[in-house]
Amino acid sequence: MKSLYTAIFVVLISLSSVNAADKGKHLFILSGQSNMKYMDPNIAFIPAVEKAFGKENVVVIHDAQGGQPIRRWYKDWEPANGEKPTSTGMLYKRMMRKILPIVKKHKFSSVTFVWMQGEADAQAKHGDVYKKSLIGLIEQLSNDLGRKDLNVVIGRLSDCDLTNKRFPHWTMIRDIQMEVAESNPRSAWVNTDDLNDGKGENGRKLKNNLHYSIEGYKQLGERFAEKSIELIKKHD
């Protein structure tokens, strides 16, 4: 009888030690323009989410391209004035070609979309339609994946141009990114204002730069991971 109790106790201890990593796999989709492209997820993002959920339970898709407006992802994008472009959503299609084989192969407990983009739209003065476009992009991905529980982490534009001189709609898009993130309990945004100072590539000294420092990209990965983990655990 004593051995039976011991066996039961061992089983209970084993079950209690099961963590979030054993409950299923987690998919992370990282996309956007240059600041997402230059962030190597292997440096900080992937190690952090693997530590949280287990290496075998994490799949990361990183697909980004510099200098691109949101219409390259959002298929129904329309300008505030004028006709809709004949070609939209091409980068989204490229991204989905990477995602769909993965979601067919695995069953994911969560899917998190990490978005770092907006510079191109700020420069082209498309802030008036950015909110609609960002919400539309999130809904587009959510519908295509059949995930009403999609988590979203948005990298807010930095303090590169708070006077809107070079990028006329810079602060407008910053505000929109926060508004969209704060309007949904499954969304969050990360601050990047302190990531664009310091030592950049080739030893160049950066100050309120459009792109981030070497250390800044590392911290960006850490912050994206922190918010992603927080959202997943919050809704687990």
pLDDT confidence of residue 201 = 87
Q: How far apart are CA 236 and CA 224, in angstroms?
A: 18
Residue-wise pLDDT tens digits, 201-222:
888 999 999 999 999 999 999 9
What is the structure's pLDDT at 23?
62
- Burial, 213: exposed, middle or buried (Cβ in 10 Å; 0-12, 13-18, 19+)? buried
Which whole number is the average pLDDT over 223-228? 98
Q: What is the mean pLDDT of the chain?
A: 92
Indicate whether 11 belongs to any domain: no
Q: Is the pLDDT of residue 10 over 50?
A: no
- Please report whether residue 15 resides in a domain: no
Q: Is 137 helix (H, G, I), strand (E, B) or coil?
A: helix
Burial class (CB in 10 A: 0-12, 13-18, 19+), 194: middle
Tens-place pLDDT, residues 52-94: 999 999 999 999 999 999 999 999 999 999 899 999 999 999 9
Give the CATH number of the domain where residue 208 resides: 3.40.50.1110
pLDDT above 80: residue 7: no
What pLDDT does residue 107 have? 95
3-state class (DSSP) for residue 202: helix
Which residues pair with residue 113 across a beta bridge?
29, 152
Instruction: Give the count of domains, the chain.
Output: 1
| Model pLDDT, residue 6 | 42
Contact 36/119 with Cβ under 8 angstroms?
Answer: no
**Which range marks the domain in which residue 54 is found?**
23-234
Establish if 161 belongs to a structural domain. yes
The answer to the question of residue 82 being in a domain is yes
| DSSP assignment letter at 42 | T
Structural domain includes residue 135 = yes
pLDDT, tens digit, 9 for 90 and up, residues 133-182: 999 999 999 999 999 999 999 999 999 999 999 999 999 999 999 999 99
Evaluate whether residue 4 is within a structural domain: no
Q: Is residue 14 part of a domain?
A: no
Give domain status of residue 3, yes or no.
Answer: no
